[in-house]
A and B are shown apart, each in its own frame.
Chain A
């Protein structure tokens, strides 16, 4: 609805007189503390015209959108929520750098739109003053105006405006109130360029600044404004000085002199900014804000006494997580079946039009349509998971969940917020990795991303079912089979925890971030925010990861299809007929006759031909070439082909084995034929000649391999999207080698026992 209102604010004539082509679009940076309703305001201003990406080199999300103002379109840059500009985490560094225009390919904003929580102005003004110090034109939006009124907090806006020196607009973003006024204020401010009245720093600060200046040359000073010097002094950050060409020693000395001056003036360099700014804020808001003494009681605490209760809290948490997991796991099922069925229908239809062109037919049906299907199939799970995540976050429950679970995860570098992503990874790692966006601590987020693909996702289930059904159940009975299936779901988790510990301790060497989590007041979520989140996550997945998944599918198709010599058909037919003749003790001519008459034999022949094609395709040759690597794990070349073909998607092994064992590609994990065919496989030559290939150690080795291996192109694509290809590559190499080693250990130990 607010979307419509948005469009109405742009009269049609405006479009022709908008920003002239030569002038670039004006940019507004949206900044605020966490939990101030920043995303809701961003959605109000931009609607669906949003773009999400990463800042180059860091795993911080970059969100931009277009807002229509009466003066034309402006680009809104949604910066990560932060309490302070003192750059400690990568998120905070991005905020400072973006506001100063120091990020490559990101121009300095023309205006800073600061959103503040009207019920907590004192603390929120701290960040606003820090931003004001940077010298950008500013507009302040006081959000939660309705709750402030309800809590009887009286704010004298006119007086505050004159004391702050910048426009202040009261809004209630969740009800889309005050948005039109805010847009008007932004339009005006882009012209009038109001700047915040910054505090007059006391003498010791001025003296300290002069000390720092004295150590620098004129040329270096010309690159630093007062704001930059102040931030360096307050944060004790030499890098900003070093970037202008100052040597490390001089920069350190300059700051040391500055700190000494502060100290002499009776100020503690470690907290000088906080002390002075809060003192200043106190004088600014004095007399402007009257808080009713009763306003402090909030309902959140009584809800929390239940939801973070020792027993009830955990029970409620487990129940909620069960609901989320069940929904992602089972509700998505029918939709995925629908997509799968739709895909088969389209494949059949297209295939019947293209019968005359076998290569094009196979490319379109097995390559292109298969590839599109491989992307779309993930959408139900992604959308359902983000529906719940959005609800959990917007209500404020996500912070409570992290509060409850943190202890379980903190020892290995994960955080309480890792729980939801890891749990959803049990359904599928794709939405799981995307869900790590709720983890603000970059390091904990990265570790969670690397660990998520270890969780036993639903695509591993068919592999377990096939192996257990074919070899464990007939031999040991249903009880052991069930227990094996259950245990297989913990193999990944057992490896993942120490893996996270090692990654955290030895690979990611950034210092640990202090854990600070705000438990915001409970809110009723806004339907529009929930759906915008689902839409943007889905769109982003299709655009970024989708293209990679599609490309991988086409490559694998080509590896399985080429080369395709004509002669192979005749050779296979001939050998099929002659072996039939031998089997039945009839002449070859009679065998041909039999094939002609029996549909079953014709189907068997067709499948034998497909199998022969795979054997001499590039993929088949790769399987044979790579097989020695898996020899120590007891895998033959057919299993190896299955493994290689499964790198884009692990469940592919079922249909690949089906084709290799001449059963056709449409077998499933319950198929008795496939189980029998596998049980019949023996080593054709070598020291193990004549012995069955699928022994128990091999079977368990295959399952462990599939449990640990990074066999999912889609997951790699999504890891690259969320971080970069370096981490995706590392995940691939580490997981695949772990899987390989584990399968060898299982086979060798199993054979020795």
Chain B
């Protein structure tokens, strides 16, 4: 999904998965799945 703003919140205490803020929603992804997301720094 192009053009969506993603903000990294934190990773879980054991390192994986991570929590992201995607347009106001908090989502959690495993690192291997998150690696598929293409991001550009603002």
Contacts and interface: CB of A to CB of B under 8 A. Distances in A.
Interface of B: 1-2, 9-10, 12-17, 19, 23-30, 33
23 contacts: A120-B25, A122-B23, A123-B23, A271-B2, A300-B26, A301-B26, A308-B10, A308-B13, A309-B13, A314-B13, A403-B19, A403-B28, A404-B13, A406-B16, A408-B14, A515-B17, A515-B28, A516-B33, A517-B17, A517-B28, A518-B26, A518-B27, A519-B19
A407 B12 contact: yes
Interface in A677-731: none
**Chain A interface mostly helix, strand, loop or mixed?**
helix
Contact of A313 (B1, B2, B13, B27): B13
A584 interface: no
Nearest to A514: B33
A127 to B, nearest CB: 14
Contacts of A275: 1-2
A310 B13 contact: yes
Contacts of A304: 9, 19, 26
Nearest to A300: B26
A403 B12 contact: yes
Contacts of A516: 27-29, 33
Given A123-B23, A271-B2, A407 B15 contact: yes
A721 to B, nearest CB: 30
A107 to B, nearest CB: 35
A399 interface: yes
A406 B19 CA distance: 12
A120 to B, nearest CB: 7
B25 A518 contact: yes
Nearest to A518: B27
A271 B1 contact: yes
Given A120-B24, A515-B30, A406 B12 contact: yes
With most chain A CB atoms within 10 A of its CB, the pick from B1, B19, B30 is B30
A625 B13 CA distance: 55
Contacts of A309: 13
Contacts of B9: 301, 304
Contacts of B26: 300-301, 304, 518-520
B33 A274 contact: no
Contacts of A192: none
B16 A410 contact: yes
B14 A407 contact: yes
Contact of A514 (B10, B16, B24, B29): B29
A155 to B, nearest CB: 16
Contacts of B24: 120, 296
Contacts of B1: 271, 274-275, 278
B33 A403 contact: no
B3 to A, nearest CB: 8
A308 B19 contact: yes
B31 to A, nearest CB: 10
Given A122-B23, A300-B26, A308-B13, 16 more contacts: A278-B1, A304-B9, A308-B10, A313-B13, A399-B28, A406-B16, A407-B14, A407-B16, A408-B14, A410-B16, A515-B28, A515-B29, A517-B17, A517-B28, A519-B27, A520-B26
